[in-house]
Structure 1
Amino acid sequence: MSASKAVFTMKLEPELRDSFMAATAAADRPASQVVRELMRDYIERQRQAQEYRAYLDRKVEVARAQRDAGQYVTNADVEAQAIARREVLLRQAKEAGL
């Protein structure tokens, strides 16, 4: 099965083109192969970024629903819990001779 190919033309600064061609030649790799890899990497990074944005959107949606339902802890409560936990740990460490 053969895949059809498409031609992709782009405008670049001559210095960028020359540097890129020199770098691919130094790596003994065809420039078109490197460009395809760069394109695939870019597409994959964009896919991952989109998935992460969707993940964050879901987390925010859940958090807002919890907030609206009154299922939350205030920052002051979290700070108080942390202080109490730290005091317990410090006491335990002192009792253990640490």
Structure 2
Amino acid sequence: MNLNITGHHVEVTPAIREYVKGKLERVLRHFDQVTSSHVILSVEKLQQKAEVTLHVKGKDIFADATDADLYAAIDLVADKLDRQVVKHKEKVSNHTHDNKRQPAE
């Protein structure tokens, strides 16, 4: 998986980079068909914002979160992504099972 982390008005330190990688690995345990991900960390006045876009086959999954603390914003966005990825995985698995046809008699 290709991981791209960008900081707008915030320096992406190695500690922040490792924290984001750890949170995304937790999300990817549920669904391993993610081709790339783009993380944008930004500061707007007193609010820290984290945005993540996951590129999966046939769909892009986007989530964002805002908090006073950057690490808390990363936690929130990871939780949102986790729920969305599980929902997408269930849709994909249900869709493939519905297509199986009964043999003709």
Which TM class, normalised by the smaller chain length?
A: 0.3 to 0.5
**TM-score with structure 2 setting the length:** 0.40
Q: Higher helix share goes to which structure?
A: 1
**TM-score with structure 1 setting the length:** 0.42
Q: Higher strand share goes to which structure?
A: 2
Structure with bigger gyration radius = 1
